[in-house]
């Protein structure tokens, strides 16, 4: 009997000790701040853009939401006026939006990141802008 009681005590101490050690692990590092902006396009579509530091680069993501699926939008992404990416994206269900995500160079100093998106069929244009402090 005495040996089974001792084993229970050892097991209980082991569980408590494990819980104490787990509680002393360092907290996860703080997330990089995200810089965001949003607005409306020339004919009512909505846009949003965000930028954050990512492993020495800048992660940029923007979205245009026209609430209509199947629309083709031509877009261009610029950093301090320098074209860094461009393409055509199509709005998809269920929201009738498209999004673009790119990791771009973190230029010296402040980055003014802009994107333009144009729906040629309607003439609607979106001008997105966010400032990343660098």
Q: Does a structural domain hold residue 19?
A: no
CATH number of 59's domain:
2.60.40.3880
The arithmetic mean of pLDDT across residues 103-123, rounded, is 94
Q: Does a structural domain hold residue 47?
A: yes
**Which pLDDT does position 32 carry in this prediction?**
80
Cα–Cα dist 103/93, whole Å: 25
Cα–Cα dist 79/132, whole Å: 10
**Which pLDDT does position 18 carry in this prediction?**
36
Q: What value does the mean pLDDT of the chain take?
A: 84
Give the model's confidence band at 1: pLDDT under 50 very low, under 70 low, under 90 confident, else very high.
Answer: low
Q: Does a structural domain hold residue 26?
A: no
Q: Tens digits of per-residue pLDDT, 63-95? A: 999 999 999 999 999 999 999 999 999 999 999
Q: Does a structural domain hold residue 73?
A: yes
Cα–Cα dist 103/61, whole Å: 9
End-to-end alpha carbon distance in the chain: 68
Identify the domain containing residue 125 by its residue range: 34-132
Q: Tens digits of per-residue pLDDT, 20-69? A: 333 333 344 467 899 999 999 999 999 999 999 999 999 999 999 999 99
Structurally, the chain folds into a number of domains equal to 1
Q: Does a structural domain hold residue 53?
A: yes
Number of neighbours of residue 90 by Cβ within 10 angstroms: 10
**Does the pLDDT of residue 14 top 90, yes or no?**
no
Task: Give yes or no for a cis peptide into 94 (omega within 30° of 0).
Answer: yes
The arithmetic mean of pLDDT across residues 94-110, rounded, is 94
**Does the pLDDT of residue 101 top 90, yes or no?**
yes
**Which pLDDT does position 108 carry in this prediction?**
87
Q: Does a structural domain hold residue 5?
A: no
Q: What percent of the chain has pLDDT over 90?
A: 72
Q: Does a structural domain hold residue 97?
A: yes
Q: Say if residue 48 is exposed, middle or buried (CB neighbours under 10 Å; 0-12, 13-18, 19+).
A: middle
């Amino acid at each position: 009997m005495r040996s089974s009681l001792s084993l229970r005590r050892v097991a209980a101490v082991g569980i408590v000790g494990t819980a104490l050690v787990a509680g002393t692990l360092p907290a996860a590092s703080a997330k990089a701040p995200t810089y965001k902006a949003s607005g409306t396009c020339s004919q009512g579509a909505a846009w949003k853009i965000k930028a954050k530091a990512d492993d020495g680069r800048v992660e940029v993501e923007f979205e245009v939401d026209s609430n209509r699926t199947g629309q083709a939008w031509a877009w261009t992404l610029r950093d301090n006026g320098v074209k860094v990416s461009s393409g055509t994206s199509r709005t998809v269900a269920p929201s009738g939006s498209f999004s673009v995500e790119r990791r771009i160079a973190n230029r010296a100093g402040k980055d003014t990141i802009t994107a333009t998106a144009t729906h040629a069929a309607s003439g609607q244009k979106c001008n997105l802008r966010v400032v990343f402090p660098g």
